[in-house]
Structure 1
Amino acid sequence: MARAKNRGYQQTFTPTYTIRRWRLGEYIRLSKEDLKKGKDDSNSVKNQRDLLGDFYQRHMDEFESAVEYVDDGHTGTDANRENFQRLLADVMSGKINCVIVKDLSRFARNYSDAGSLIDNLFVQMGVRFISLAENVDSYLNPDSVSNIIVPITNVMNDNYCYQTSKKIRQVFDYKRRNGQYIGSFAPYGYIKDPANKHQLLVDAEAAETVKRVYSMLLQGSSKRAIALYLNEHGIPSPTAYRRKKGLPVSSAVADDPMWGARMIHEILTNPIYTGDLVQGRRRVKSYKVHQIEAVPEEEWVRVPDTHEAIIPRETFEKVQALLVRDTRTSPKGREVHLFSGFLKCADCGKSITRSVSGKNVYYACSTYKNRSRTACTMHSIKHNRLEAAVLFAIQYQVNTAVSYSELIAR
């Protein structure tokens, strides 16, 4: 049978495309350094929001949703930014699969962080990344992410932060060594001179409280007892006092209206009350690692007699000697006991603890009592016997000294 010809008809096939719609995360960041630039508002939150919003309006058909993430006043070298971490959490959960920024420096100024996220995590998660200033779009132009401009820009952003950090450290070090106070807030007991913010003036009202703290410790009160006394007498804590006087308060300090043993310890150990500036006791580890670390005492910057003293040096030194002793009190105690911090076990060298049994007070080895009965022996002695023995030893030493003096005089 002859095959019939299909004349005048030709079947056509039209390909169909599924337009992918993205869940957009708009990230905005403004650092403190950007705020200090003054007139240059190119990186302002408003300007970034306008640029990202304009892009979204012009490409609205590509997106099914948009969420904004803003970190205002945060450096790009620190990845522990609240909303930056929230953005990454939403990426990991799948809530966001497209991230857009004004430029690469807004996303991160840490070269390793930026490279790790853009080149690795986002690729593995199938996340589209857009940076408007550098014309980077990992979906429409995958090669743009691998373009040499991206790592170079990240390195330049990283180096900018390093140079800025280095200059700031140099300026701070210069001011410290020249006896200029560079703290953001004056220590309790002082205020900043209105005419010179690097000079400290005595705050008479708070200074009286500082003097009372030192006096009470020298009279035998524990730090806990001093704190209880101040709270019971209605004396506001340093933070509460600053708020009461309308003075600036650090956001990093807990808003605690009550005194505590830690506050008392900070006052008792701060040499600034002797009239000396001792700065550089803490520092940030690096421009990338924003953790605070203690600086060895030999590296502190000390400049004597830069401002009026509240506490005499002799008094300060006496207090430091007392604090070296282990003069902790019991939870209900307010006074330091006679032998607190002095008694040590002759065998193991550990502290001797004080205990009360009925009307009797006795001392025993802390190792034997609290750790192990086999590590040491009890070495128990009653308070009255110990007191009599110490008194006898002191009297013997005094008599011996007097006898030697008389012998030499002859």
Structure 2
Amino acid sequence: MADKEKYTILYGRLSQEDDREGESNSIQNQRLILTAYAEDKAFENLKFLYDDGYSGTNFNRPAWNEIMALIENGQVETLIVKDMSRLGRDYLQTGQLMEIVFPNYKVRFIAINDAVDTLYGDNDFAPFRNLFNDFYAKDCSKKIRAVKKAQAERGERVATKPPYGYVKSTDNPKLIVQDFESAEVVRYIFKLCSEGRGPKQISRKLKEDQIHTPANYYYKQNGVALTNLDTTRPYNWSDTTIANILEDITYIGHTVNMKHTTVSYKNKRQIVRPESEWLVFKNTHEPLITQELWDIVQSIRKHKKRPPKKMDTPNMFSGLVFCEDCEGTLVLHRAHTMESTKNNFMCSTYKKRGKEECTSHYIRESQLTAIILDDLKRVTHFARQQEKLFAEHINQRNSFETRKELTKLQRELDSMKRRDLELTMLFKRLYEDNVLGRIPDEHFRMLSTEYTDEQKILRTNIPKAEEKMEKLKNSLTNVELFIEKAKRYTDITELTAELLHLFITKIIVGEKAERYSRTAEQCVWIYYRDIGILDDVTKENDISEPDYEFIAENNGELRLVI
């Protein structure tokens, strides 16, 4: 290619920090300076390219990438910038460009205000200027981080983009309000999860419904392309996006600051801080979902670890059914080739390790569904019809059980704290004895390792015990909430995932009194949300038993007998 066909590139760059300094660094001002210089020096075939809003420590800029493509194709003769900081503020990359890349491609580099022109040889002060430019970027980063931290500690939102489902308030850009279209999608995602669907199943459903992904929706609304935007597949939701939405407490009205940070002022890769460093501010904006729905979804997500099977109907019992003996989960077995009436639950421990570890605890899904539906009708009917008696029974029973459990936990916690203090004192004495020569170094190393390991375990278990105690105190039965829910659902004719997770937290299945028998007794304990187990409620309060029972047929099905 002839030299006359090569470009003289005039390059401008402006970051947000540079923009605050005023007009001198504006893109328009840089263009005027560069054009005047190029025309005065009789440069030809001028091409002006610029990056507006990009940091000097980031070399992944649109215009700069275009320039590098032209340089690598041999289409650039001269590159002119206002000063070296416009090229970049990373002294390593800037130095590599000036000393290796530009000479290799025979590109003349000129920085007007810094009196740098590679046509006349190396400038001895150029490396120092690059270093000072790097220091400036580092100093700006520290100041900005300090400002953002102060804002975060005051409870202000520091994120530049509102979460999916929200938009910035027109009255106050620091506040967020719900975006009605995307907020409905968020509610839809939580509803699907409450029905027992996992992230993969939800993403498939959203794709079928042709709902835009957050990145595509943001681009459609604002015309701004996010880094993960793929306009060729606008409905291609990822499992990770769904999981992040389901775990984001923003949707119950809370603000979380200081959750993410970057590796350094040069490396902008985002990392998640330890949860202990997060700043949580509650009730800062309008929630998109209720606390009740949030709790149900978190309960489902906590137990739903197995990859979902590609079945039309999700397992609504997921994470709820447990074995009485080994306390493991009961796994639902079903297949496209098997009749739905034969779907059954079996102990996961038994399936993995055999009868030496546990027994099958076999129960058909249809049987369990019938039992749960029947008991749910009975308990909710009792809660609606005899509110006072129902509340008295629950409060009387749980006050005793809670005190007993809290006392036991408190004793365990006190014991762990005492042992932790003892180990600290023992370690101090051990260290003193070693320094004074009373015990050899080998014994000191062995004992100190044992004490350190024991203390590490204690300091891991103490917060867990404290958290368990706090949860137990907060889990004191809320009879009024249960009664209110019972009043909302007065005509329960079918057991759904929503009802199941709304009213029930755990189901324990016992083994049959006689294994392999279709008529043997099998116990099922149902733990209701907010009130616990109610298997003895009718006897203690002289409430008549329901006028029906379940009889096992020869085919293994349950028949309702009135």
Both structures adopt the same fold (TM-score exceeding 0.5)? yes
Partner of residue 333, structure 1: 312
Deviation digits for residues 75-108 of structure 1 (CA, Å, limit 9, x no counterpart): 2111222332333344344333432222101111
RMSD of aligned Cα (Å): 4.7
Counterpart of 1:221 (choices 197, 200, 205) is 197
- Cα distance, 1:356–1:117 mapped onto 2, change above 3 Å: same
The whole-number CA distance in structure 1 between the counterparts of 2:274 and 2:16 is 29
Partner of residue 375, structure 2: none
Tell me, yes or no, if the aligned pair for 1:185 and 1:250 is still in contact at 8 Å: no
Partner of residue 201, structure 1: 177
Larger helix fraction of residues: 2
Deviation digits for residues 314-353 of structure 1 (CA, Å, limit 9, x no counterpart): 4323312311322543345352364579799xxxx99979
The whole-number CA distance in structure 1 between the counterparts of 2:26 and 2:207 is 45
SS in 2 for 1:56: helix
The whole-number CA distance in structure 2 between the counterparts of 1:365 and 1:91 is 66
Counterpart of 2:245 (choices 259, 262, 267) is 267
**How much does 1:264 deviate?**
3.5
**How much does 1:286 deviate?**
1.8
Tell me, yes or no, if the aligned pair for 1:110 and 1:157 is still in contact at 8 Å: yes
- Residue type at the aligned position of 1:135: A
1:313 and 2:291 equivalent?
Answer: yes
- Cα distance, 1:173–1:85 mapped onto 2, change above 3 Å: same
Counterpart of 2:66 (choices 70, 80, 86) is 86
- Cα distance, 1:364–1:58 mapped onto 2, change above 3 Å: farther
Tell me, yes or no, if the aligned pair for 2:13 and 2:87 is still in contact at 8 Å: no
Tell me, yes or no, if the aligned pair for 1:48 and 1:102 is still in contact at 8 Å: yes
**How much does 1:34 deviate?**
5.8
- Cα distance, 1:127–1:221 mapped onto 2, change above 3 Å: closer
> How is 1:148-163 mapped onto 2 (pairs within 5 angstroms)?
148=125, 150-163=126-139
Partner of residue 30, structure 1: 13
SS in 2 for 1:187: coil
- Residue type at the aligned position of 1:260: W
Tell me, yes or no, if the aligned pair for 1:29 and 1:74 is still in contact at 8 Å: no
The whole-number CA distance in structure 2 between the counterparts of 1:83 and 1:313 is 47
SS in 2 for 1:310: coil
> How is 1:107-118 mapped onto 2 (pairs within 5 angstroms)?
107-118=87-98
Q: Which moved more, 1:158-167 or 1:22-31?
A: 22-31
> How is 1:371-410 mapped onto 2 (pairs within 5 angstroms)?
391-393=509-511, 395-396=522-523, 398=525
Q: Percent identity?
A: 26
SS in 2 for 1:146: coil
- Cα distance, 1:130–1:328 mapped onto 2, change above 3 Å: same
Counterpart of 2:101 (choices 121, 124, 143) is 121
- Residue type at the aligned position of 1:218: S
SS in 1 for 2:305: coil
- Residue type at the aligned position of 1:213: I
Contiguous gaps of at least 5 residues in structure 2: 369-507, 513-521, 527-532, 538-562
**How much does 1:52 deviate?**
2.9
The whole-number CA distance in structure 2 between the counterparts of 1:170 and 1:230 is 40
> How is 1:267-306 mapped onto 2 (pairs within 5 angstroms)?
267-306=245-284
Partner of residue 49, structure 1: 31
Tell me, yes or no, if the aligned pair for 2:196 and 2:318 is still in contact at 8 Å: no
Counterpart of 1:146 (choices 94, 118, 123) is 123
The whole-number CA distance in structure 2 between the counterparts of 1:21 and 1:242 is 44
Counterpart of 1:358 (choices 337, 347, 372) is 337
The whole-number CA distance in structure 1 between the counterparts of 2:535 and 2:347 is 36
Partner of residue 188, structure 1: 164
The whole-number CA distance in structure 2 between the counterparts of 1:275 and 1:85 is 41
Partner of residue 14, structure 1: none
**How much does 1:385 deviate?**
5.7
- Cα distance, 1:89–1:235 mapped onto 2, change above 3 Å: closer
The whole-number CA distance in structure 1 between the counterparts of 2:330 and 2:37 is 70
Q: Which moved more, 1:354-363 or 1:162-171?
A: 354-363
Partner of residue 16, structure 1: none
Tell me, yes or no, if the aligned pair for 1:202 and 1:308 is still in contact at 8 Å: yes
The whole-number CA distance in structure 2 between the counterparts of 1:398 and 1:343 is 10
- Residue type at the aligned position of 2:9: E
Tell me, yes or no, if the aligned pair for 2:19 and 2:26 is still in contact at 8 Å: no
SS in 2 for 1:99: strand
Deviation digits for residues 177-206 of structure 1 (CA, Å, limit 9, x no counterpart): 111122223323434333322223345665
- Residue type at the aligned position of 2:19: K
- Residue type at the aligned position of 2:308: T
Deviation digits for residues 47-78 of structure 1 (CA, Å, limit 9, x no counterpart): 33333333333333xx6755444323322111
Partner of residue 58, structure 1: 40
The whole-number CA distance in structure 1 between the counterparts of 2:50 and 2:330 is 54
The whole-number CA distance in structure 1 between the counterparts of 2:47 and 2:360 is 72
The whole-number CA distance in structure 2 between the counterparts of 1:286 and 1:118 is 24
The whole-number CA distance in structure 1 between the counterparts of 2:287 and 2:242 is 18
Tell me, yes or no, if the aligned pair for 1:76 and 1:105 is still in contact at 8 Å: yes
Deviation digits for residues 232-271 of structure 1 (CA, Å, limit 9, x no counterpart): 6677665676678x66866446357537354443331110
The whole-number CA distance in structure 2 between the counterparts of 1:204 and 1:212 is 12
The whole-number CA distance in structure 2 between the counterparts of 1:31 and 1:351 is 60
- Residue type at the aligned position of 1:51: I
- Cα distance, 1:250–1:181 mapped onto 2, change above 3 Å: farther
Aligned residue pair count: 370
- Residue type at the aligned position of 2:60: N
1:179 and 2:155 equivalent?
Answer: yes
